[in-house]
């Protein structure tokens, strides 16, 4: 599972800490997801989707 969070975050000029706050998760969680350490939960994926105004499929790519 790949994601475009780092780029989308850059487009909105947000720091990891700012994004984390808007998502109500820790900064480390944002960092870990960006770095591909693990995938977010589905609810968190929906939050990202709504925050960035993109579909989940536009943000995450399944690499099976």
Select 14 or 45, whichever has its Cβ closest to a second copy. Answer: 45
Side-chain half-sphere exposure of 22, counting CA atoms within 13 A: 17
Which of positions 7-36 make contact with DNA (CB under 7 A)?
A: 15-17, 24-29, 31-35
Select 13 or 24, whichever has its Cβ closest to a second copy. Answer: 24
How many residues bind to DNA according to rule CB under 7 A?
A: 21
Tally of CB atoms within 10 A around 26: 13
| Closest of 52, 10, 44, 8 to residue 25, by C-alpha | 44
Q: Least distance to DNA from the beta carbon of 48, Å?
A: 10
């Amino acid at each position: 599972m790949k994601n475009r969070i780092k780029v989308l975050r850059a487009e909105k000029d947000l720091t990891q800490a700012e994004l984390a706050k808007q998502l109500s998760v820790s900064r480390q969680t944002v960092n870990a997801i960006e770095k591909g350490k693990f995938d977010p939960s589905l609810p968190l994926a929906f939050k990202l989707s709504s925050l960035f105004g993109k579909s989940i499929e536009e943000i995450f790519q399944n690499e099976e």
